[in-house]
Amino acid sequence: MASLRNKAVSGIFWTFSQLFSIQAIIFVVSTILARVLSPSEFGIIGMITVFNAVGISLMDSGMTSSLIRTPNPTHRDFSTVFFFNIAVSVFIYAIIFFSAPFIAEFYNQPILKDIVRVYCLSFVLNASFATQKARLTKDMKFKTQMTITVPSVIVSSILGIFLAYSGFGVWSLVFMQLSQILLNSVQYWIRSKWVPSLVWDKQLLKTHFNFGYKLTLSGLLNTIFSNIYQIVIGKMFSPMLVGYYTHSSRMKKIPIQNLSNALDRVTYPLFASVQDDNVRLKKMYKELMCMVFFVVAPLMLTLMALAEPIFRFLFTEKWLPAVPFFQIMCITGVLYPIHSYNLNILKVKGRSDLFFKLEVYKKIVTVVLLLITVRHGIAAMLWGQVASSVIALIINSYYSGKFLSYPLGEQLKNVAPILIVAAFSAGVTYAMNLLLKSYQASDILTIIACCILCVLMYLGISVLLKFPYLAQIKSLILNRKNRKKKK
């Protein structure tokens, strides 16, 4: 038990270190690029994001997840999955390559033909190190992954900024993305110290595929429908509006989805290690979900309250039309950790069939709400997203609640006090924002003053109400420091 906890503490520490390092870099780079490039250029990339994401989902086929949950995978397991991923990625890239003219015609943007063909090379590059990454995740070697990812992000970001200032426009975003993946690939091959053998075990392939293909179909549905708004906006509106939507979505994902994804990388193998002990699994699930929600809820609600001065200060006034989009998206961001952990329970229990079944139900809801709201404009579509997220939360929690005897009502009861305190703190912060705006205070002064007020109020009320989450976070940090000293 102690060993498992130590692994969890170490994994969380290094994953968060990687997260915050990368997000700090991405935040700075996004700010610089948003000042140099136009919303339309971001919109062009936003139009093809779905094709890249779909290709990556199909390439992996959920088989790396199967490797991670397999108790003792062999070299033959990893080699078989590696060559399968490579073969599928090349096949998918070929399809996208020849479909590029039709994609450009669909959006009525001729430049997309060449951009799609270059940008989607990322399929093959991602496939080249997916198995090596799975091995490191399986062994919970997140420190190694951090020292791979951070340098890649730094170098590719410098390249992207240089190209943007050199007048490459939208191509600066393309080459920044590809260079990062290429650098990741090279380093994973070197640092993982694993090279595949020329083996192809049909039985092992069948085993991993039978588990993985359901996750793939679920991931494929989720990818398509996560990007369906960009597809519809790109088809019906201008690239500029796609740019506003895409940039708002990216800003929301920086603090929330990447945070949850980082935790997923730790919690999935961690949950998998106790998958047959429902009591321990529920306890671990509850603690982690509440701890993450304690951080996420005030963060997203405060960003929502301060969206206008933040966007104006960071990206200039040309991005202010994106503020209402971002504020609505922040509401869905608050719910994201609960979604994520409920779905992880299904995966560790090996119920990829249920995972896929629930995805189908949720996508039906998404389509219905999209059809209802699309004729009323982008704002209505985003409120439809909020409604879809609430319904999806009910769907996601149904089976996981049954497996752990931890239904949605009990989950919401656990996080409700956190949400109330976070909402109150954000509300006071918004009032302060309006007050400072009436006195024509500068944006940077407004942001700093309001953030200090919100943090002091939120933490102060949390201490008065004796929330345990501050102590838990402190314990994680201290445990990490103590383990480091012992070494």
CA 166, CA 397: separation in Å to the nearest integer?
49
Residue range 15-49, pLDDT digits in tens = 566 666 777 788 888 889 989 998 999 889 888 87
Residues 234, 242: contact at Cβ < 8 Å? yes
Question: Do 372 and 384 contact (CB within 8 A), yes or no?
Answer: yes
pLDDT at 187 over 60: yes
Higher pLDDT: 274 or 435? It is: 435
Q: How far apart are CA 106 and CA 114, in angstroms?
A: 14
According to the model, what pLDDT value does residue 199 have? 78
Q: Mean pLDDT, to the nearest integer, of 93-104?
A: 92
Distance CA 146, CA 138 (A): 15
C-alpha dist (Å) from residue 335 to 139, 230, 265, 342: 30, 21, 19, 11
- DSSP output for 379-427: HHHHHHHHHHHHHHHHHHHHHHHHHHT--HHHHHHHHHHHHHHHHHHHH
Cβ 137 vs Cβ 265: under 8 Å: yes
Higher-pLDDT residue of 359, 424: 424
* pLDDT at res. 1: 45
**Is residue 344 a contact partner of residue 284, using CB atoms and an 8 Å limit?**
no
pLDDT: which is higher, 188 or 270: 188
Asked if residue 332 lies in contact with residue 463, where contact means CB atoms within 8 angstroms, the answer is no
CB 42, CB 245: distance < 8 Å: no
The most distant pair of C-alpha atoms in the chain lies apart, rounded to whole Å, by 71
Q: What is the pLDDT of residues 364-413, one digit of tens each?
A: 888 899 999 988 888 899 999 899 889 988 888 887 777 777 888 888 88
Predicted confidence at residue 2, as pLDDT, reads 45
pLDDT top residue among 175 and 215 = 175
Q: How confident is the model at residue 15, as a pLDDT?
A: 59
CA 317-321-327 angle, to 5 degrees, is 110
- Reduce the DSSP state of residue 369 to 3 states and report it: helix
Mean residue pLDDT of the chain comes to 82
Return d(Cα 239, Cα 109) in angstroms, integer.
9
Top pLDDT among 105 and 468 is at 105
* pLDDT band, residue 13 (cuts 50/70/90): low
Task: Kindly tell me the burial class for residue 110, based on how many C-beta atoms sit within 10 Å of its own C-beta (0-12, 13-18, 19 or more).
Answer: exposed
Using CA atoms, how far apart are residues 481 and 142, in angstroms rounded to an integer? 16
Region label for 72, one of left (φ > 0), alpha (ψ between -120 and 50) or beta (otherwise): beta
- DSSP letters of 18-61? HHHHHHHHHHHHHHHHHHHS-HHHHHHHHHHHHHHHHHHHHHHT
The rounded Cα 478 to chain-centroid distance in angstroms is 27
Residue 463 has pLDDT above 80, yes or no: yes
Q: How many CB atoms lie within 10 A of CB 117?
A: 17
Residue 71 has pLDDT above 60, yes or no: yes
In the numeric block, which tokens belong to residue 280?
């321990």
Per-residue pLDDT, 280 = 75
The HSE-up count of residue 359 (CA atoms within 13 Å, CB side) is 23
Contacts of 132 (CB under 8 A, 6+ apart): 188, 189, 192, 194
Taking the CB of residue 333, how many other CB atoms lie within 10 A of it?
26
**Averaged pLDDT for residues 310-314:** 92
| Average pLDDT for 244-249 | 87
pLDDT surpasses 80 at 168: yes
Is the distance from CB of 180 to CB of 152 less than 8 angstroms? yes
Between 209-223, 255-269, 414-428, the lowest mean confidence (pLDDT) is in 255-269
- The reported pLDDT for the residue numbered 147 is 85
Task: Name the band, by pLDDT with cuts 50, 70 and 90, for residue 269.
Answer: low
What residue ranges do the domains of the chain occupy? 1-236, 255-487
For residue 267, the model assigns a pLDDT of 61
219 within 8 A of 62, measured Cβ to Cβ = yes
Model pLDDT for residues 107-152, shown as the tens digit of each residue: 888 999 999 999 989 888 988 888 888 888 777 677 788 888 889 9
Backbone CA torsion sign across 104, 109, 114, 120: negative
Structure tokens belonging to residue 192: 């993982």
Q: What is the pLDDT of residue 174?
A: 93
How many whole angstroms separate alpha carbon 432 and alpha carbon 67?
51
**Rounded distance between C-alpha atoms, residue 248 and residue 357, angstroms:** 30
Torsion sign over Cα 387, 392, 245, 454: positive
pLDDT of residue 305: 95
